[in-house]
Amino acid sequence: MNKQQIEKEKDLMIAQIKKYSPIFKRFFEINLTLRQYSDGIYKFKHNPVYAKRQEIVKKEMLNKFKTLFGKDCQKKLNINFDQQLANNIVDHHQVLNHPLLISDNVIANIGKFFQDQKPPAIIVISSGDVPPNNYFSKNGFQLHGKKVPIFSNSETELNSCLIPKRDFDFVGRIKKSKRWSELNDKEQQFLVGEYERIKSLDFSNCNNYNDQITLIVNDSWPRLFASEIRKNLPELLYITQEELTTNCLLKILAEKNFVTEILFNRQYREKILADFRGIVVTWNEKENKGTHFFWRKHPTENKLLRMYVSADKLVPGDEEFKNLSVNFDLNEIRNLLEKREIFPSLFMIFAVLNFYFGIKPLVGQGSIVYLNLIRDQWLKTLEQTEFKAEIDNIKSYEIDYMVSGLALFFERITNQIKTLYAYDIIYNGGMSAQYLKQAFEMKFSDLLAVSVTGTYDYIAQKYIPDDEKIKYQVTTDILAQDLINWL
């Protein structure tokens, strides 16, 4: 492709994104450096109602980290909560891997780099219900363009929330698939070393795979950066949104509020079902999408069952499991939540964490769209209810900071730019201070345009008509060739 063709494809994609998802328009026009953009993320007026409610959230977070990292973790990891929380909600709960999910916590926390003392930990509320075989993982991670499987093919559709503690023998899996010879000696040595490192982590306090991931991510995060940067690097701590929401919901379940009333007031529940139907990640019964408020644990497999309201019950969408229906009863729901037999849906997660407890979400290409749609609908819905006073709380912050969707880490090989995955960076010894300082002065809009194919894929899948979709040839590597001209 020549430069004219490259620019034409990029401009066409950006134009369609702006047309079919107008909320993106301003992001492609942000004339700020990454550092300037990052500096504004946490500058929002705090709401005393949310600050008070979040005492519950902070306690639940800290309890989880104490379980996994020890009772002294608050001091050791420098866990220091802001008065009102703003957290990245984009990351999938899996090993660090994809370019679009290893830059978000850098972009959201540039002010914490290159400090004289260790800054407060970065806490991510990650998505813990993703299957191993998802867009950002593909069963494991990637090294130099080669797939490194953590899961076998038979495990690809498991739900991460339900996976028990396991080994991470990706070396054995590569050998079993007769692909070990595809790796050179240095790559083989590197992967053996990474496997040994994971095996050496103390998983004794982990109850499941998701707990193990929290420890693995915390260990691998600093190695994305050169050794001289690591001393005062903030810790990276993942907690799954499913577990955090469950624990926080249990604390307020017996109270009457605009979230719990969904479960215990039939008329209000029917209004919620009607008002939010069709928004991406809520529910669309005709298309068999989403679930009503909770997922139900499958009785024999590590999967979740879709649930739909029928009279005063939640009934599995699959008739075979109708015996697993759930009554809208306080004690029954509490019991099932405590036993991890039901899991909150994304709608319920956002209702609890973001709209009741007031955590400001730092978002990605998808959530910047649907969270604003859900927020706007809550404002309309609550206007017609006894919970009208909550409107001012929900209006008290904007869902306006997208931290994902930008590839940030590149290297130049034989005059060609190459986008780096997490373990490519770790293999290289981490990104240098010089690289980061240069990258932090790049324009946000420039990097978003370089990474436009990832954003376009998502928007096209959800919102662009099939007959208008572009079959593009351009790649992030091609688009970055001229922009990353300092490598």
Quick check: 161 pLDDT over 90? yes
* Spatial distance between the Cα atoms of 136 and 97, rounded to a whole number of angstroms: 7
> What confidence tens digit (pLDDT) does each residue in 352-399 have?
999 999 999 999 999 999 999 999 999 999 999 999 999 999 999 999
Task: Give pLDDT tens digits for 286-310.
Answer: 999 999 999 999 999 999 999 999 9
Instruction: Let me know if residue 462 belongs to a domain.
Output: no
Position 455 scores a pLDDT of: 92
Give per-residue burial for 215-251: e unless 16+ CB within 10 Å, then b.
Answer: bbbbebbbbbbbeebeeebbbbbbbbbbbbbbbbbee
% pLDDT > 90, the chain: 96
DSSP-assigned letters across all residues of 92-144: BSS-S--GGGTSHHHHTTGGGSS-SSPPPPEEEEEB----SSSTTTTTEEEET
414 lies in some domain: no
Q: What is residue 468's predicted lDDT score, i.e. its pLDDT?
A: 96
Q: SS3 breakdown of the chain: % helix, strand, coil, rounded to 5?
A: 50, 15, 40
Q: Residue 146's pLDDT band (boundaries 50, 70, 90)? A: very high
Q: With respect to residue 341, please indicate whether it lies within any of the assigned structural domains.
A: yes
Domain that holds residue 265: 243-394
Residue 6 lies in a domain: no
Over residues 43-60, the pLDDT tens digits come to 999 999 999 999 999 999
- The mean pLDDT of the chain is 96
Please answer whether residues 406 and 378 qualify as being in contact, where contact means their C-beta atoms are separated by less than 8 angstroms. no
C-alpha separations of 219 from 96, 145, 199, 201, 222 in Å? 10, 23, 12, 9, 7
Query: What does the pLDDT look like over 460-472, one tens digit per residue?
Result: 998 999 999 999 9
Q: Is residue 349 part of a domain?
A: yes
- Asked if the structure places residue 358 within a domain, the reply is yes
* Domain contains 368: yes
Q: In this model, does residue 93 exceed pLDDT 90?
A: yes
Instruction: Write out pLDDT tens, residues 212-270.
Output: 999 999 999 999 999 999 999 999 999 999 999 999 999 999 999 999 999 999 999 99
Q: Considering the domain boundaries, does residue 345 fall inside one?
A: yes
Give me the number of domains the chain comprises. 1
Q: What is the CA radius of gyration of the chain?
A: 23
pLDDT at 156 over 90: no
Answer yes or no: is pLDDT of 63 > 90.
yes
What pLDDT is attached to residue 486?
A: 82
| pLDDT confidence of residue 487 | 83
* Res. 135 pLDDT band, cuts 50 70 90: confident
**Is the pTM here over 0.85, yes or no?**
yes
